[in-house]
Amino acid sequence: MPVDFSGTWNLVSNDNFEGYMVALGIDFATRKIAKMLKPQKVIKQDGDSFHVHTTSSFRDYLLEFKVGEEFEEDNKGLDNRKCKSLVTWENDKLVCVQTGEKKNRGWTHWLEGDDLHLELRCENQVCRQVFKRA
Ligand code: VLZ
């Protein structure tokens, strides 16, 4: 696999995280805190096996998956809704479809220059995040 997302990444921009959180039904008080955060992502990639740890001063979220293998995701500490998740390669992009109660839920990761991009989707909302290497 040509692309390697491994590394420690710091959030530098976060467009419409608020809309994404509203779409997920995150309450007002939690949103107020969460939108101030500058999360860090620690990604460990071994071929198609991924360990993605999103950390912040408020909450952490750990996701482990293998590309092409569907798994149950609990979204613990986020909206806590369970879904079935499947991550696949679309060329050099890593695309996750999260099937469950929320329509059009998922995310896409890709590299652009030295930056890590993440698009988070839920219902009709799209959040765009950019990370730089720590
Ligand atoms: O990222 O699904 O990299 O899971 C934000 C933690 C984590 C801050 C957002 C607390 C996870 C927020 C985004 C409280 C509501 C996500 C995937 C792709 C991996």
**So where are the chain's domains?**
7-129
Rounded to 5°, the CA angle 77-79-53 comes to 45
CA 91 to ligand 1 centroid distance, Å: 23
55 lines ligand 1 (CB under 6 A): no
| pLDDT (0 to 100) of residue 2 | 77
CA 54 to ligand 1 centroid distance, Å: 6
Write down the pTM of the prediction. Answer: 0.96
Question: pLDDT > 90: what percent of the chain?
Answer: 99
78 lines ligand 1 (CB under 6 A): yes
pLDDT above 70 (res 15) = yes
Q: Give 29-34 contacts, CB < 8 A, sequence gap 24+.
A: 33/58, 34/58, 34/59
What is 7-129's CATH topology?
Lipocalin (2.40.128)
